Structure 1
Amino acid sequence: MTNSKRCKYHDRLSQLPDALIFEMFRLMPMTDVVRTSVLSKRWRNLWANTPFLNFDNDTMLFDDDRLRKFVDRALSLWKGTRVLKFKFQASRRVAGDDSIYSDVDSWVSFAETRGVEELYLCLDWDCSYSVPQCLYSCSSLKALKLLDCNLKIFGNVQWNQLDSLSLCLRMVNGHTINQILSGSPRLRVFILGCIDIDGNLSIQSNSLKQLGILNLRGSEDYAVSELRICTPNLKILELRGVVNLYAKCLLMNVSSLSHATLGLHGIDSHEYGLFSGKALSQILPTIQHVEDVILSDWSAKGLRAMKMDSSFPNVKSLELRCCSYDYKHVVGVLQIFPKLERLVLKYHKGDGHHQDQRESLNLPESFVYS
Structure 2
Amino acid sequence: MENYRAGLVTCAKEDRISNLPEHLIDSILERVPLEEAVRTSILSKNWRNVDFGASLCGPQISLPQLKKLSMYSCTNVSNFNIKATRIWSLAVFTCPGVMLLQLLHSPCISRFAIRDFVQGERMNLEWVLRNLPVIEALYIDGSSLKFLSAENIPKWLPHPVNSLKHLRLRNFEVGDLDQLHGALCLLRNSPNLKSSVIQLYMEPQVDVGLASNHLDTPNCLDYTLKQLQTVEIISLEGSGPELLFIKLLLAHSPSLESLTNRPSRDSDVQKRFDIAKDVMQFPRASTNAKMFYLDLEP
* TM value normalised by structure 1: 0.54
Matches of residues 88-167 of structure 1 in structure 2 within 5 Å? Answer: 88-90=47-49, 100-103=52-55, 105=56, 112-113=62-63, 115-124=65-74, 127-132=75-80, 134-135=81-82, 137-149=83-95, 150-152=97-99, 158-167=105-114
CA contact (8 A) 1:90 1:122 kept: yes
**For residues 24-60 of structure 1, what are the alpha-carbon distances to aligned partners after superposition, in whole Å with 9 as ceiling and x for unaligned?**
426x526x3xxxxxxxxxxxxxxxxxxxxxxxxxx51
1:297 paired to 2:235:
yes
Cα distance change on mapping 1:258 and 1:156 into 2, 3 Å: closer
Q: In the alignment, what sits opposite 2:118?
A: 171
- Return the alpha-carbon distance in structure 1 between the equivalents of residues 132 and 234 of structure 2: 30
- Return the alpha-carbon distance in structure 2 between the equivalents of residues 84 and 128 of structure 1: 18
CA contact (8 A) 1:234 1:257 kept: yes
- Return the alpha-carbon distance in structure 2 between the equivalents of residues 73 and 84 of structure 1: 9
Structure 1 alignment gaps of length 5 or more: 1-21, 33-58, 202-222, 355-370
Cα distance change on mapping 1:341 and 1:89 into 2, 3 Å: same
- Return the alpha-carbon distance in structure 1 between the equivalents of residues 177 and 91 of structure 2: 26
CA contact (8 A) 2:177 2:210 kept: no
Cα distance change on mapping 1:339 and 1:151 into 2, 3 Å: same
- Return the alpha-carbon distance in structure 1 between the equivalents of residues 117 and 246 of structure 2: 36
- How big is the alpha-carbon RMSD for the aligned residues of Structure 1 and Structure 2? 4.5
CA-CA distance at 1:89 after TM superposition: 1.7
- Return the alpha-carbon distance in structure 2 between the equivalents of residues 156 and 74 of structure 1: 17
- How many equivalent pairs are there? 264
- Return the alpha-carbon distance in structure 1 between the equivalents of residues 136 and 44 of structure 2: 19
CA contact (8 A) 2:125 2:153 kept: no
Cα distance change on mapping 1:270 and 1:264 into 2, 3 Å: same
1:69 paired to 2:5:
no
Q: In the alignment, what sits opposite 2:272?
A: 327
**For residues 303-348 of structure 1, what are the alpha-carbon distances to aligned partners after superposition, in whole Å with 9 as ceiling and x for unaligned?**
7546977635543212012233422121343243463464321244
* Local SS of the residue matching 2:271: coil
Q: In the alignment, what sits opposite 2:287?
A: 339
Aligned partner letter, 1:234: L
Pick the aligned partner of 1:246 from 174, 177, 189: 177
Instruction: Find the structure with the greater CA-based Rg.
Output: 1
CA-CA distance at 1:156 after TM superposition: 10
1:235 paired to 2:135:
no
Structure 2 alignment gaps of length 5 or more: 1-11
Cα distance change on mapping 1:231 and 1:161 into 2, 3 Å: closer
1:316 paired to 2:293:
no
CA-CA distance at 1:101 after TM superposition: 1.3
CA-CA distance at 1:276 after TM superposition: 4.5
CA contact (8 A) 2:198 2:232 kept: yes
* Local SS of the residue matching 1:243: coil
Q: Which has the higher contact order (CA 8 A, sep 6+)?
A: 2
- Return the alpha-carbon distance in structure 2 between the equivalents of residues 176 and 306 of structure 1: 23
Aligned partner letter, 1:294: E
Q: In the alignment, what sits opposite 1:15?
A: none
- Return the alpha-carbon distance in structure 1 between the equivalents of residues 189 and 32 of structure 2: 47
- Return the alpha-carbon distance in structure 2 between the equivalents of residues 288 and 63 of structure 1: 47
1:195 paired to 2:136:
no
1:29 paired to 2:18:
yes
Greater CA drift, 141-150 or 307-316: 307-316
* Local SS of the residue matching 2:118: strand
CA-CA distance at 1:269 after TM superposition: 4.7
CA-CA distance at 1:83 after TM superposition: 7.7
Identity of aligned pairs, percent?
12
- Return the alpha-carbon distance in structure 1 between the equivalents of residues 188 and 210 of structure 2: 22
**For residues 171-223 of structure 1, what are the alpha-carbon distances to aligned partners after superposition, in whole Å with 9 as ceiling and x for unaligned?**
2456265444434433333333363568653xxxxxxxxxxxxxxxxxxxxx5
CA contact (8 A) 2:208 2:241 kept: no
Cα distance change on mapping 1:264 and 1:274 into 2, 3 Å: farther
In proportion to residue count, which structure has more strand?
1
Q: In the alignment, what sits opposite 1:260?
A: 196
Cα distance change on mapping 1:180 and 1:159 into 2, 3 Å: farther
**For residues 139-166 of structure 1, what are the alpha-carbon distances to aligned partners after superposition, in whole Å with 9 as ceiling and x for unaligned?**
2323222233223378895312333222
Cα distance change on mapping 1:86 and 1:268 into 2, 3 Å: closer
Aligned partner letter, 2:89: A
**For residues 121-146 of structure 1, what are the alpha-carbon distances to aligned partners after superposition, in whole Å with 9 as ceiling and x for unaligned?**
2245xx553242x32x4223232222
CA contact (8 A) 1:148 1:169 kept: yes
- Return the alpha-carbon distance in structure 2 between the equivalents of residues 163 and 234 of structure 1: 8
